[in-house]
């Protein structure tokens, strides 16, 4: 019996960098598991042109069903609910189930905040520091999307503390939306303490409006470097496959 197909699901975006990152990340997932059928798909957004959501989720599901797949695991490519709409995912799965009676669909948890992502952040930050010719740091800011859920923001703060312990540097969590402090505020707070070499790591999967806003605020406040998002890193692909594995197990009849 063939393994369930994997659909990596992202929110549609006007920014072509988002689609490019998703494509590259799916390519890395395929490289790690060439035995799996892996597809990328985007949630359609009525506020965006249809071209921003290609391939659309329903189109991808139709194609997989036509190819004979009866079980599909959907893995949302998001670290937090700010980056993808939960209600939109639920509605999309319900619509797919209605279109294809008998199709077994399982939606995995979000990628979340895995400790292994700190290794990716370090790699991305080293690249930014080299580009900016920065050799000295006395503080770090971990910039994330932010959430209206206080527990989600606390998770980011815990990850920031873990990161700071590893580097023996003070670290502040900051958010691009929904919660204080903003990235610029976090940088200015450190500067108010007399720290001048402050770098910002971008805890996002792909570039977009939130990352651009976060970067702009950080640089305006005096950050010496801002890293690129996690992107299509092998560690991110491994987390995608870990979420898929849980969903695939849930499809097995008890």
Residues 47 and 102 placed together within one structural domain of the fold = yes
Looking at the structure of the chain, the number of domains it has is: 2
Which residues does 166 contact at the CB level (< 8 Å), separation at least 6? 118
Residues 173 and 194 placed together within one structural domain of the fold = yes
Residues 105 and 60 placed together within one structural domain of the fold = yes
Residues 142 and 66 placed together within one structural domain of the fold = no
Residues 215 and 239 placed together within one structural domain of the fold = no
Cβ-based neighbour number of residue 221 at 10 Å: 20
Buried b (16+ CB within 10 A) or exposed e, 45-73: beeeeeebbeebbbebbeebbeeebebbb
Residues 207 and 172 placed together within one structural domain of the fold = yes
What gap in Å lies between CA 138 and CA 94, rounded to an integer?
Answer: 50
Residues 210 and 243 placed together within one structural domain of the fold = no
What is the CATH classification number for the domain harbouring 171?
3.40.50.1400
Residues 74 and 138 placed together within one structural domain of the fold = no
Residues 74 and 131 placed together within one structural domain of the fold = no
Look up residue 134 and give its two tokens. 């920065």
Range of the domain at 33: 5-112+232-250
What tens-digit pLDDT sequence spans the chain (254 residues)? 689 999 999 988 888 999 999 999 999 999 999 999 999 999 887 777 777 778 999 999 999 999 999 999 999 999 887 666 778 888 999 999 999 999 999 999 999 899 999 999 999 999 999 998 988 899 999 999 887 778 888 889 999 999 999 999 999 999 987 678 999 999 999 999 999 999 999 999 999 888 999 999 999 999 999 999 999 999 999 999 999 999 998 876 64
Residues 207 and 240 placed together within one structural domain of the fold = no
Residues 26 and 98 placed together within one structural domain of the fold = yes
What gap in Å lies between CA 9 and CA 57, rounded to an integer?
Answer: 7
| Residue 86: predicted pLDDT | 79
């Amino acid at each position: 019996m063939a393994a369930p197909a994997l659909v990596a699901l992202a929110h549609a975006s006007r920014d072509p960098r988002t689609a490019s990152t998703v494509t590259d990340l799916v390519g890395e997932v395929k490289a790690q598991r060439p035995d799996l059928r892996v597809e990328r798909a985007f949630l359609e957004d009525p506020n965006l042109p249809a071209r921003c959501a290609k391939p659309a989720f329903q189109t991808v599901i139709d194609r997989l069903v036509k190819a004979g797949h009866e079980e599909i695991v959907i893995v949302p490519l998001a670290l937090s609910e700010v980056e993808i709409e939960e209600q939109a995912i639920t509605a999309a799965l319900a619509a797919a189930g209605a279109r294809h009676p008998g199709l077994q669909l399982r939606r995995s948890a979000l990628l979340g905040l895995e400790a292994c992502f700190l290794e990716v952040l370090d790699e991305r930050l080293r690249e930014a520091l080299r580009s900016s010719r920065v050799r000295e740091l006395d503080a770090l800011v971990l910039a994330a999307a932010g959430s209206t859920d206080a527990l989600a923001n606390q998770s980011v703060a815990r990850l920031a503390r873990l990161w700071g312990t590893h580097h023996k540097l003070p670290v502040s969590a900051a958010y691009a939306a929904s919660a204080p402090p903003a990235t610029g505020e976090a940088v200015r707070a450190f500067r108010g303490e007399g720290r001048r070499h402050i770098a910002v790591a971008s805890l996002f999967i792909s570039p977009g409006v939130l990352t651009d806003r976060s970067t702009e605020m950080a640089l305006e406040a005096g950050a010496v470097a801002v890293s690129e998002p996690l992107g299509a890193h092998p560690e991110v692909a491994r987390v995608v496959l870990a979420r898929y594995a849980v969903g695939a197990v849930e499809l097995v009849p008890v």
